[in-house]
Structure 1
């Protein structure tokens, strides 16, 4: 929940020049607040940056105050949507069941969902990481098309806490996630305090295909350094 429309345009002015040195094979998606989507869709038309929303409801319309429907996103050129982000699970009661419903709804509208999974510190300390993530994956992906999907591993215990998930450990868990998929080519991202000073090591890991960037995406130079990792 960052950036007004004016602030989002200011961000683009600082960020766009950095793309001149970005390799052509890298996909860049900005997942911004709903109020910024239409404005940025117009300003990014014809650019290499795709837009994503931060959530989508499972119904096409109805008495669901505060929610957003897939058709509303498609109408303004949105291509991606985050589903099951750790903050949605933690603060807003998202469950594996509702995550599955949102994934299916996104795909029905040809949106590419970015499914987030991950464990808390309490769960990790209890040795539940593997079982929990296996459960999240199996429940979330019921009837989901794995050829139109991105997955992001978010170790919740390593987000804004000062604790660090070592790149090799992130690679291990992402490998476990991949082993549970029927389509091993699903792009799997890492999203746990990704910063300019750790992106190179993260992206050097064999199982990690990309990054889901939080706080470091708010500052144009920091995000540019992440996008242009070595």
Structure 2
């Protein structure tokens, strides 16, 4: 699997990308076991060649991140070794008197390649804002990593209204990081997070289509990929593949076999 680049040659399609966040569900031991199982599946002799055509990421907690980076770096196959290790958050400054915070510079130093930012839980529980996410995204890009920025409307309504609400969040981040930076947008309607079913396919595709048509997204020189999150599971991506570049998975993918199944679906859709 090739390393994601900051831009695309004309006519080259965006690489699909799919991954999972463990939030705060896993113990350290379970994280290690889970990652070992996923890497073993990716290193198996019968792994489909199509998996080399997508980007795969795993986002553990901060405590286990360096251990996961070591597991990935010493995996048995090139495919497994190319998995992007992510972090669930970072601070907007690289160093300073910020007790309890995590530096993007240190994350990059220990092998982190991608950082999740702006999740609805952090906004609801810790008072983070679009401006906070934008400042953190700048730190991520400054340190050579990819910001995975969560965006989404609070409640379901008209597509045009949802797109406007999401675009405010998107614009803040894209303006902060500049035109050359690679960004992954995780479209997660807040009302669909943790729900029994994902948001309706037609609704998701219409919102994302409006995002792609915006001058902020359309006019950028770097890659801007859009993935769907919010109760995502098996069989979903095939319905979204026309507009979406991948999936951001949660608890469904906390079982290695189910995660691997979804990777195959995204690669082969």
TM-score, scaled relative to structure 1: 0.91
Give the drift of 1:72.
0.9
User: Which of residues 103, 120, 129 in structure 2 aligns to 1:86?
Assistant: 120
Distance 1:127 1:209 in 2: 21
Higher relative contact order (CA 8 A, sep 6+): 2
Distance 2:72 2:91 in 1: 25
Distance 2:173 2:204 in 1: 20
Structure 2 portions without partners, runs of 5+: 1-23, 75-80
Are the equivalent residues in 2 in contact too, given 1:2–1:33 (CA < 8 A)?
A: no
Are the equivalent residues in 2 in contact too, given 1:4–1:36 (CA < 8 A)?
A: no
User: Which of residues 124, 135, 139 in structure 1 aligns to 2:157?
Assistant: 124
User: Which of residues 224, 230, 241 in structure 2 aligns to 1:192?
Assistant: 230
Give the drift of 1:102.
0.5
2:19 aligns with none
Give the drift of 1:158.
1.0
1:223 aligns with 259
**CA 1:197–1:58 in structure 2 vs 1: closer, same or farther (change >3 Å)?**
same
Are the equivalent residues in 1 in contact too, given 2:232–2:248 (CA < 8 A)?
A: yes
Determine helix, strand or coil for the equivalent of 1:78: coil
Distance 2:40 2:237 in 1: 20
1:152 aligns with 186
1:16 aligns with 2:3: no
1:136 aligns with 2:172: no
Give the drift of 1:51.
0.2
Give the drift of 1:190.
0.7
User: Which of residues 183, 198, 203 in structure 2 aligns to 1:164?
Assistant: 198
User: What is the CA deviation profile of residues 126-183 of structure 1, one whole-angstrom value per residue up to 9, with x for unaligned ones?
Assistant: 9731221121122222231343211110011111123531222211111111222122
Task: Report the aligned-residue RMSD.
Answer: 2.0
Determine helix, strand or coil for the equivalent of 2:153: coil
User: Which of residues 235, 247, 262 in structure 2 aligns to 1:211?
Assistant: 247
Distance 2:196 2:168 in 1: 27
Structure 1 portions without partners, runs of 5+: none
Determine helix, strand or coil for the equivalent of 2:73: coil
Distance 1:126 1:23 in 2: 33
Are the equivalent residues in 2 in contact too, given 1:55–1:83 (CA < 8 A)?
A: yes
1:25 aligns with 53
Give the drift of 1:111.
1.1
TM-score, scaled relative to structure 2: 0.78
User: How many residues align structurally?
Assistant: 227
Distance 1:43 1:162 in 2: 33
Segments of 4+ in structure 1 off by > 6 A? none
